[in-house]
A and B are shown apart, each in its own frame.
Chain A
Amino acid sequence: MKTICFYFEIHQLRQLKRYRFFDIGSDHYYYDDYANASAVAELAENSYVPALTTLLDMIKENNGDFKVALSASGVGLEMLELYAPQVIELLKELAKTGCCEFLCEPYSHGLSSLVSPTAFKEEVERMQRKVKELFGTQPKVLRNSGLIYSDEIGEMAASMGFKGMLAEGAKHILAWKSPHFLYNCANASGLKLLLRDFKFSDDISLRFSNPEWSEYPLFAETYVDWIASLPQEEQIVNIFMNLSAFGMAQPLSSHILDFLKAIPAVAKERGISFSTPSEIVEKFKSVGALEVPYPTSWMDEERDTTSWLGNTLQREAFDKLYSVAERVALSDDKKLKQDWDYLQAAENFRFMTTKSNGIITERSIYDSPYDAFTNYMNILGDFMARVRAQYPEEIDNEELSALKQVIENQEVEIVQLEAELEALKAKAAKKTTRKKKEVAE
C-alpha cells in the first residue's frame, strides 16, 4: 500500500536593515522592525493561518487517516511569537491532534552543518528543547536548513540520536534509483533517509497556479492518479515544501487549499494512506545505503549548496561569520548569541547569489548581490568587533577552547568531589548514629 508523506517547513528570517559602514561601532541593532513585523503579519495572514487551519480541518475530517509533518526554525518561531502568536496557537492545536509530527532542524536556519559540527549540534539540541517545550514531544527526525544533506551530516544526526532525516531526491545522487524507497545513511546505517520527490513537490509549490503549465489546472484526482500509477513496489512518496507555498508562492485565489483538502478522500478511494516521517522510519526497511559525499539541497536546478556559497563573496561572508563560531559559543552574552542566530540564516547568503537561473532572485531590500554583500559585511564587521571585545584576537581558538575545557573539567571535578564529600559525610553521620546507638544500648 502506497503512502504519502507530507512535510511543510515554517521559517521566516529576521530581515536586516540598511546598515552603512559608518554605523559600524556605534549601532548594534541590525534589524528592520517594521519590515519584519509587516512581513510576518503578511505571511501569517496570507499563508500560515489559512494553511494550518486547513491542515487542522483535514485531520479532524479524516479521523486520523490524514497525517502531516511540520518543522519550524527557532528563528522563525521567535518571529511568530513576536508578531503572529496566533500561528503558534494553531501549531499547538495541531500537535494535540496526534496526527501532526514535529521535526527538528537547526535553530538559526543556517549553514553550520557545513562548517562547524559543534555549532550545528548546539543549535539542533537547542531546537529539540524548544520543540519539546512548545509542542510536548521530542523530535526523532531531523531536517537540515535547505534540506542540505551529506554522509557527514547524516553521521552527525545519527550521533545525536535521530532515527531519520529528510533529504533531496536529487538526480545526481540517485541516478537510476527511485526516491520512493527508504534509504539509510552511508556512514550510519541507523539513520534512515526520506527523499523528497521533487516532481510531485514542485507540481504544487512551483507550478500549481501557472496557466502556461501543460497540466494546468491540476485537480486532486489527477494528482493522486499519478501517484497511484507508480510501480507497485515504489511505496513512499515524500512531498516536502515550504508551508508558504500555500498563499505566498501560489496565491490562495488559485484554490490551492481546496486542492490540498480534496487529496485525502481521493487518496482513500485509491487505497493510498498518509504517514509521518517517524512512522515511515519505523514501518519500512531501508533498501540500502545512499552515498552522498558532497552536500545536496533542495535549492535550484543544481540541488547543491551553490545558491548560498556559489561565489567568492558568499564564501567570504560565510567564512568570516563562522570564524567567530567558537568565541560566540564561549560567550554567555544573550544579545550576542541572539544576533549570531539571526546572522546565520541561510537567506542572508542567498541574497548575494550571482547565479542567473532564469528565475528572478528574491533579494529583500537589496538591489544587487553586491549590495547584499556590502550590507551584510558592514553588520558582520560590527558583530565581529563585539565578539573581539569579549575575546581578543591575540588568543587563538585552540587556546580559548583549552581554557574553556579546563574550566569545564574543573566544574565536573567540583561536582564529583562534592558528591564524594556528601557521600562521606553521610557515611560519617551514619557511623556516629550507629555508635550512639551502640552506646545507648
Chain B
Amino acid sequence: MKVLMFGWEFPPHISGGLGTASYGLTKGFLPQGDVEIKFCIPKPYGDEDNSFLRIVGMNSVPIVWKDVDSSYVESRVGAIIRPEEYYRYRDHIYGDFSYMNTNDLGCMEFAGGYPENLHEEINNYSIIAGVVARTEEFDIIHSHDWLTYPAGIHAKQVSGKKLVIHVHATDFDRSRGNVNPTVYAIEKNGMDHADHIFCVSELTRRTVIDKYHQHPDKVTTLHNAVTPLSDDIMAIEPKKIPNEKVVTFLGRITMQKGPEYFVEAAAQVLKKTRNIRFCMAGSGDMMNDMIKLVAQRGIADRFHFPGFMRGRQVYECLKASDVYIMPSVSEPFGISPLEAMQCDVPTIISKQSGCAEILDKCIKTDYWDINAMADAIYAICNNDSLYEYLKVEGRREVDAITWENVALKLRRLYEQVMAH
C-alpha cells in the first residue's frame, strides 16, 4: 500500500506535538513491511530519518520549468532530493506559475515552522502538492492538520484517490472558543472534502462533529501513542534534591495549557508545606503574566521558570521531577504526560485532555479545580505508596501504548475507506 502524506513538520526539527505524532505514526507502519509512505513537508533539513519512509521536501519540487543540469541540482538541494527525482517532478508541472516568486530551480522557498505569512505558505504548499500528486503513485492521501488540508484536497482532485485527514488539533482548542474565521474555513473545507476524518481523541471527535458539523460515521477516534525512549535518554541519572519534591509543568505557557491553574494550585500547596518546588518550563505569551501572578501570591522563592527546553533538556527536567502536571483547559491529545510516565514520573492531568481517555494510572482532575489539583500534588509528595504505585503502574501502562498498534488500526481504516 502506498500512502501520500502531507505534514508540516518532522523530527528532529519540531516545535510541537504534530511532528512527534507524524514520526511515531509513520514509523509504526514499519513492522507491516508493505506500506510505502511519502511524507511531504515544507522544508526538510536533510537530517531527518529516512529509513522507514521517504521525505519529500516541498521546497525542492519545481513548479516552474528551469533548464538546470544534474550537477547543479545536486549541489543546490542534493541533501534533500536526487536530481532524477527533481526531473521527474519537473515533467509534471501543470500550469504557468512563473508569476510566483520562485528561485533558480523553479521552486518556492519556505521559512519553515509557523511564520507570519503562514497563509501564503499554506497556499504555496498546496500548489506544489499538485505537482507531487501528478508525479507520484499512491493509493490514498493522508493530510495532517489544517495546514495541509488544502494540499490534500488538491491532490484528491488531481488523482481521484481517497483523502483522509488527521485532526491533531482544532482552532477551538487553540483559542478557547474564539476561533479565527480564516482558519475555521480552511479546517471546515478540509473536513467537508475528506472521505474520512481521524481525530486524536474522542474529545476532538466531538468538536469535529459538533462545531464543524461532520457526520459522526465519517469521524473516527485514533488515539496517539508514544515512541519508546532511546537508551541514552533512559540512562539520564535523575537529579533529585534531598528532602525536596519538584512538581513540573512543561509546555507552551499559553491560554490553552491552563498555566494559571497550576500557579494557584501551587499557592495552595505552599500554604501547608514548604519542601516542594514548582517548575514551569517552556515559553509563551502568558509567561510574563504568570511571573507576575507568582509574585502576587508570594511564592516566587519556590516557583521557577527555567524557560524553553528542547531535546535532552526536556528529559533531564522530567527525570528530576516528582510530579508532572498538565492542567490543560483543552488538549486534543497531549503527548507530554505519556513522556513523563515513560520517565517514571507520577502524572496529574486535566480531564479535559484527550490523553485522559486512554490513561488510567494517573490522577485526573478538572482543570479549574485547583483544590483537587493541590490535593493530588500534596498526596503524591507525601505518600510514598501513591508515588510508587503511579510510578510503576504508570510506566507499565504507557509502555503498552505503541504506535505499532495505532498503525495496525489505521491500516484497517485505510482499507475500509478505499473500499467505499
Which residues from chain A sit less than 8 Å from chain B, CB to CB? 20-22, 24, 311-313, 315-316, 354, 367-368, 370-371, 373-375, 377-378
Mask: chain B, 278-301; 1 = CB below 8 Å from A; 0 = not: 000000000000000000000000
Closest to A374 in B: B379
Contact B379 A312 (CB under 8 A): no
**A20-B371, A22-B272 known; A315 and B376 CB under 8 Å?**
no
Contact B389 A21 (CB under 8 A): no
Neighbouring A residues of B390 by C-beta, 8 Å: 370
Contact A368 B364 (CB under 8 A): yes
Interface CB pairs A-B, < 8 A, 19:
A20-B375, A21-B272, A21-B374, A21-B378, A21-B382, A312-B388, A312-B389, A313-B389, A315-B385, A316-B384, A316-B385, A368-B363, A370-B386, A370-B390, A371-B372, A374-B379, A374-B386, A375-B375, A377-B386
Contact A374 B268 (CB under 8 A): no
Closest to B392 in A: A312
A146 to B393 Cα, complex, angstroms: 28
Neighbouring B residues of A20 by C-beta, 8 Å: 371, 374-375
Q: Does B412 count as interface, using CB distance less than 8 angstroms?
A: no
Neighbouring A residues of B385 by C-beta, 8 Å: 312-313, 315-316
A248 to B268 Cα, complex, angstroms: 40
Q: Which residue of A24, A316, A368, A371 contacts B383 across the interface (Cβ within 8 Å)?
A: A316
Q: Quick one: which of A375, A377, A378 has the most chain B CB within 10 A?
A: A377
A378 to B363 Cα, complex, angstroms: 16
**A312-B385, A313-B385, A368-B363 known; A374 and B271 CB under 8 Å?**
no
A378 to B381 Cα, complex, angstroms: 13
Q: A21-B272, A312-B385, A374-B375 are in contact. List 6 more A-B contacts (CB 8 A).
A: A22-B268, A22-B374, A368-B363, A371-B372, A377-B383, A378-B375
Closest to A314 in B: B385
Neighbouring A residues of B271 by C-beta, 8 Å: 22
Q: Which secondary structure dominates chain B's binding surface? A: helix
Contact B388 A374 (CB under 8 A): no
Neighbouring A residues of B376 by C-beta, 8 Å: 370, 374
Mask: chain B, 344-388; 1 = CB below 8 Å from A; 0 = not: 000000000000000010011000000110111011001111101
Q: Which secondary structure dominates chain A's binding surface? A: helix
Neighbouring A residues of B388 by C-beta, 8 Å: 312
Contact A311 B389 (CB under 8 A): yes
Neighbouring A residues of B372 by C-beta, 8 Å: 371
Contact A21 B383 (CB under 8 A): no
Contact A21 B364 (CB under 8 A): no
Neighbouring B residues of A312 by C-beta, 8 Å: 385, 388-389
Sorting the interface of chain B by its residue count into under 10, 10 to 19, 20 to 34 or 35 or more gives 20 to 34
A312 to B390 Cα, complex, angstroms: 10
Q: Which residue of A21, A311, A367, A368 contacts B375 across the interface (Cβ within 8 Å)?
A: A21
Q: Which residue of B360, B363, B378, B389 contacts A371 across the interface (Cβ within 8 Å)?
A: B363
Closest to A377 in B: B383
Q: Quick one: which of B268, B271, B376, B385 has the most chain A CB within 10 A?
A: B385
A22 to B364 Cα, complex, angstroms: 20
A377 to B371 Cα, complex, angstroms: 15
**A20-B371, A21-B375, A22-B268 known; A367 and B364 CB under 8 Å?**
yes
**A20-B375, A21-B375, A368-B363 known; A373 and B386 CB under 8 Å?**
yes
Closest to B389 in A: A312
Neighbouring B residues of A354 by C-beta, 8 Å: 360, 393
| A142 CB, nearest partner CB in chain B, Å | 32
Neighbouring B residues of A377 by C-beta, 8 Å: 379, 382-383, 386
Closest to A19 in B: B375
Contact A370 B371 (CB under 8 A): no
**A22-B271, A367-B364 known; A313 and B375 CB under 8 Å?**
no
| B305 CB, nearest partner CB in chain A, Å | 25
A4 to B376 Cα, complex, angstroms: 50
| A127 CB, nearest partner CB in chain B, Å | 31
Contact A370 B363 (CB under 8 A): yes
Q: Quick one: which of A20, A21, A371, A373 has the most chain B CB within 10 A?
A: A21
**A315-B385, A316-B385 known; A373 and B272 CB under 8 Å?**
no
Closest to A24 in B: B272
**A20-B374, A312-B388, A367-B364 known; A373 and B379 CB under 8 Å?**
yes
Mask: chain B, 252-287; 1 = CB below 8 Å from A; 0 = not: 000000000000000010011000000000000000
Nearest 3 interchain pairs by C-beta = A316-B385, A374-B379, A21-B378
Neighbouring A residues of B272 by C-beta, 8 Å: 21-22, 24
| A319 CB, nearest partner CB in chain B, Å | 9
| B206 CB, nearest partner CB in chain A, Å | 20
| B393 CB, nearest partner CB in chain A, Å | 8
Contact B386 A313 (CB under 8 A): yes
Query: Which parts of B28-73 form the interface with A (CB within 8 Å)?
Result: none
A312 to B360 Cα, complex, angstroms: 16
A316 to B364 Cα, complex, angstroms: 21
| B357 CB, nearest partner CB in chain A, Å | 14
Neighbouring B residues of A316 by C-beta, 8 Å: 383-386
| A308 CB, nearest partner CB in chain B, Å | 15
Closest to B364 in A: A368
Neighbouring B residues of A313 by C-beta, 8 Å: 385-386, 389
Q: Which residue of A21, A22, A367 contacts B379 across the interface (Cβ within 8 Å)?
A: A21
Closest to A381 in B: B382
Neighbouring A residues of B364 by C-beta, 8 Å: 367-368
| B390 CB, nearest partner CB in chain A, Å | 7
A370 to B384 Cα, complex, angstroms: 13
Query: Which parts of B327-356 form the interface with A (CB within 8 Å)?
Result: none
Contact A370 B379 (CB under 8 A): yes
A117 to B374 Cα, complex, angstroms: 38
A374 to B365 Cα, complex, angstroms: 12
Neighbouring A residues of B389 by C-beta, 8 Å: 311-313
Neighbouring B residues of A21 by C-beta, 8 Å: 272, 374-375, 378-379, 382
